[in-house]
Amino acid sequence: MRYFSILSIFLLMITSAVHGQSLTSADEYSQRGMARFEKNDLDGAIADFTKAIEMNGQKLEFCYYFRGMAHYRKGNPDQAILDLSKAIGIKADPRFYVDRGNLLARQGELDRAIADLNMAIEMAPRYAKAYGDRGIVRLMRGEDTDAELDFKKCFELDGTLESQFRAAASKVKQRAVSHHEYEKPFDVEIIKFSWTEGLSRVLIPSSPVIGITTSPVSATGTRVLADPTAKGEPGPPEVGDSSGRSLPHAGASTAGTRDAIEYKFFASIRNTGSKTIVAVKWAYFFEPKEVAHERLAYLFMTKPNIKPGKEKTLNDSIPTDSPKGSIKMPHKNQAPFNERIAILRLDYADGSSWESSAAHASPKKSGPPH
């Protein structure tokens, strides 16, 4: 949520009123409520905003708004939505609609969330973040094409938001796929798959990218990794130079060049059908055997042009300049996990297509980025 621009406006309004007339107890409560909110004293802020509301102070819409945000931070989203609704009832501010839309999306109420974001955009057609947030909610509803149009408009209005929303969109897509089963296409055979981890953009000589495994793929397209008792090999080893010394970690810098870890994913498939495959949407999964660890999924779209009876290797990578912490990556120190690949969509040269139901699966109780 973008609290600070609203916070500044609220404080300016209160301060201006104070200088124009004698201080009132309601205004004092409002100002102390803001100070407590900034210090994350949420109970104190809620108490002060409640007192200001009871005393019918100035700019009550902001008192309700910030009391609602305090409730949200405390983990009370239902009360937060009620307070934002009261703020909107006093003043229909597009920022209030955007933040209530975000809260509704996190509660899984996607239709109501879209309605709020539509209203915000109608009121403020150049409000970039509103388009980005609506794009995320549309992704959650499986409306990929409309979501991309919203992202395009958002980035045209404010290019600084692109990395934030691209990362959020990636997470939504990963969650959608990783929590659903998938059907296997009848005309594709998965031959093998793997992934690699290596350094990129380094000034000193480095060893070639090191493959993770060459173990066979089962008939179901799965393989067990990081389990010494199972068929397969451990996760990626440390990358080193020819002397055996470890190279710098991701994020280190030498002579002005940033070092980064690059992750590449591969999948060899054979077209066993009668039509040429021109595009493949596929996913790479890491499923920890321990419940406490998070499942990871990475989505890719490749245009390989595979004729009937032919085999090709799909390959893609996670951008090395992804925002720090925006995408979780596999690592050799993870708990034991199962690795698998899924084909989610096939497009054919004749214009037809096949698609798994997992490709349009929508996660619940998630929402746009703060």
- Percent of the chain whose predicted confidence (pLDDT) is above 70: 64
Residue 20's identity, in one-letter code, is: G
CA distance 278 to 303: 5
Instruction: Identify which has the larger pLDDT, 244 or 41.
Output: 41
The residue ranges of every structural domain in the chain are 3-178, 188-360
Mean pLDDT, residues 68-84: 94
| Residue 5, pLDDT above cutoff 90 | no
The strand pair at 222-225 and 260-271 is best described as unpaired
Which fold does the domain 3-178 belong to in CATH?
Answer: 1.25.40
Q: How far is CA 226 from the centre of its chain?
A: 27
If one compares 357 and 145, the residue with the highest pLDDT of the two is: 145
For 84, list phi and psi in degrees, rounded to 5.
-65, -35
Residue 50: how many CB atoms within 10 A of its CB?
15
Considering only CA atoms, which of 124, 127, 135, 136 is closest in space to residue 158? Answer: 127
DSSP H stretches of helix in the chain: 3-20, 25-38, 42-54, 60-73, 77-90, 94-106, 110-123, 128-140, 144-157, 162-178
- pLDDT range class, residue 13, cuts 50, 70, 90: very low
- Residue 75: exposure state from Cβ atoms within 10 A (0-12, 13-18, ≥19): exposed
Average pLDDT over residues 80-94: 95
CA-to-CA distance for 318 and 167, rounded, in angstroms? Answer: 11
- pLDDT, position 67: 95
> What whole-number distance in Å separates Cα of residue 268 and Cα of residue 247?
30
State the DSSP string of 242-278: TTSPBPPPTT-EETTEE-EEEEEEEEEEEE-SSS-EE
Q: What is the pLDDT of residue 109?
A: 93
